[in-house]
Amino acid sequence: MFFTKKFKLASMLACGMLAGALFTGCGGGDSAGGGGGNQASGDEIVVGANFELTGNVAQYGVNANNGFKLAVKEFNDAGGVNGKKIRIVEADTKSDAAESVNSATKLISDDKVVALIGPAVTANVIAESQVATDNKVPIIAPAATNPDVTVENGQVKPFVFRSCFIDPQQAEVMAQFAIKDLGAKTAVMYLDSSSDYSKSLGKIFKERFEADGGTVVMEEAFLAKDQDFKAALTKIHTANADVIFVPAYYEEVGKIVKQARELGITAAILGTDGWDDSKVVDIAGKDALNNTFFCTHYFEGDEEVQGFINAYKKEYNADPNVFAALGYDAGKMLINAIERDGTDSEKIRANIENITDLMVGTGKITMDPSTHNPIKGIVVIETKDGVRSLRTKIAPEGK
C-alpha cells in the first residue's frame, strides 16, 4: 500500500549505522546475529510486531497489527505447536523510517525475536530490511506493495516476504478492466504527487492502458491532506474522458469523488487498494460513489473469507479493513512456517519461501520463491448506492 519510498536513502544509511551498533551493543556470544538467526527457547516462540502504532500512518499499522494479533491468538488458543506458543513483542515505528530501524534493532538484539511482522508501509519495511537481513531474521510485510520491498537490483532479498500483491499487478488489472469491461478509450489520471505509491501506479496504468489501445489524455496532481480538489477537477471535467484513474488513499479519494460529482463529472472513477475502507462511503456519500470501481485483495461477500471476518468482528467489535486482513494473512503465513518445524529464524525463512496453496484470511496463496511475492487472486469491486459488490475476480496467474 502501500506507501512511499520517501526518505529511503536516509533510512538505508541509518540501517547501516544501526546494524553496526547492533553487533557492538549485544555483547559476548549472545549476539542476535550469530548462528543463522534467533532461536525459540522454553515454551514460547518470540516474534516481533514492528508497526506504525502512532504517527501519520498509524491507522494502517494499528489495523495490520490487530489482524496479526488475531491470527496468533487463534494459534495459541488451539494449543500452539509442540507445547510452544507464540509471544508477540510489539514495537512502535512512529510512522518513521529511521525509527523502524531502531525498533527492529531492539526487537532482534534485546527481545531475540525469531521473525518480524511489519511495518505496514513500504518506506518503513525497506528501512528495517537491512538490519533484519544482517541478522538473518525473516520479515513478512503485510501491506507494502512496492516491488522494491522484496527485490533489489534484480535480486530477491532472502529474508523479506510480503502477504500482499504488488503495485504493477493492480495497476495492470485496472487498465485492462477499463478497456475490456468498461469499453474505455480515453482516461485521465489524478495522482497524489507526494506518494510514490500513487505515482508508481499511475505510471504502470498509463503504460498498460496505452499498450492496449487507450489514450491517457490528461494528468493532474494533488497532495496528501489536500481538502479542495475543485480547480483540478474542473480541468479534468473538460477532458471528457471515459474514465478517471485515482490511485490514492480513502481519505482523499472520498473528497475527490464527492467534489467530482458536485461538478457534474459522471465518468467512471477507478482506484486501487488504497480505496479499501468503509469510511470512503462516509466521506463521499452513497450516491457519489455510483459508477466507481477499485481493485483489492478480497471481497467480504466471498464464502472463503467469512471465517476471518467473523473472528475479527468478535475480537474487536468492528469490521476489518484491508490492512487488518493483510496483517492476519501475514500471521497465518508465519504460523504455517512455525508449524512445519520452524521454531528458529532460518527454518521459518525456508518454510515461508515454500508456502503452497495456503488458506489465509483473504483466500489461498502460494509464495513465489523467485520474488517472495504471494501468488494470489485480485478482485474488482463496484460500489452502488453505498453497497459494495464483486464486479470481477481474477485468479492468480497459472491457476
Higher pLDDT, 220 or 6: 220
pLDDT at 43: 86
Cβ atoms 217, 278 nearer than 8 A: no
Whether the pLDDT of residue 262 is over 80: the answer is yes
Whether the pLDDT of residue 175 is over 80: the answer is yes
pLDDT at 40: 67
Average of per-residue pLDDT values in the chain: 89
Over residues 283-308, mean pLDDT: 95
Lowest mean pLDDT among 18-22, 211-215, 385-389: 18-22
pLDDT at 30: 32
pLDDT at 50: 98
For the chain, give every domain's residue range.
8-165+307-368, 167-296+378-394
- Predicted TM-score (pTM) of this structure: 0.84
Amino acid letter, 115 = A
Per-residue pLDDT tens digits for 116-167? 999 999 999 999 999 999 999 999 999 999 999 999 999 999 999 999 999 9
Over residues 378-391, mean pLDDT: 95
Whether the pLDDT of residue 275 is over 60: the answer is yes
Query: Does domain 8-165+307-368 bear CATH number 3.40.50.2300?
Result: yes
pLDDT at 32: 33
User: Is there a shared CATH topology between the 8-165+307-368 domain and the 167-296+378-394 domain?
Assistant: yes
Q: How confident is the model at residue 197 (pLDDT cuts 50, 70, 90)?
A: confident
Q: How confident is the model at residue 56 (pLDDT cuts 50, 70, 90)?
A: confident
pLDDT at 36: 52
The three grid cell numbers given for residue 244, joined into one nine-digit string? 478517471
Residue 187 β-bridge partners: 216, 243
Lowest mean pLDDT among 26-30, 245-249, 256-260, 380-384: 26-30
pLDDT at 277: 85
Q: In whole angstroms, what is the distance from residue 247 CA to residue 270 CA?
A: 8
- In terms of CATH architecture, what is 167-296+378-394? 3-Layer(aba) Sandwich (3.40)
Q: How confident is the model at residue 41 (pLDDT cuts 50, 70, 90)?
A: low
160-162/139-141 β-pairing: parallel
**Rg of the chain taking only CA atoms, in angstroms:** 21
- Quick one: three-class SS letters along the chain? CCCCCCCHHHHHHHHHHHHHHHHHHHCCCCCCCCCCCCECECCEEEEEEEECCCCCCHHHHHHHHHHHHHHHHHHHHCCCECCEEEEEEEEECCCCHHHHHHHHHHHHHCCCCCCEECCCCHHHHHHHHHHHHHCCCCEEECCCCCHHHCEECCEECCCEEECCCCHHHHHHHHHHHHHHHCCCCEEEEEEECCCHHHHHHHHHHHHHHHHCCCEEEEEEEECCCCCCCHHHHHHHHHHCCCEEECCCCHHHHHHHHHHHHHCCCCCEEEECHHHCCCHHHHHHCCHHHCCEEEEECCCCCCHHHHHHHHHHHHHHCCCCCHHHHHHHHHHHHHHHHHHCCCCEHHHHHHHHHCCCCEEECCEEEEEECCCCEEECCEEEEEEECCEEEEEEEECCCCC
pLDDT at 8: 39
For the chain, what percent of residues have pLDDT higher than 90? 80
Per-residue pLDDT tens digits for 75-97? 999 999 988 999 999 999 999 99
pLDDT at 9: 37
Over residues 214-222, mean pLDDT: 98
Per-residue pLDDT tens digits for 331-367? 999 999 999 988 899 999 999 999 999 999 999 999 9
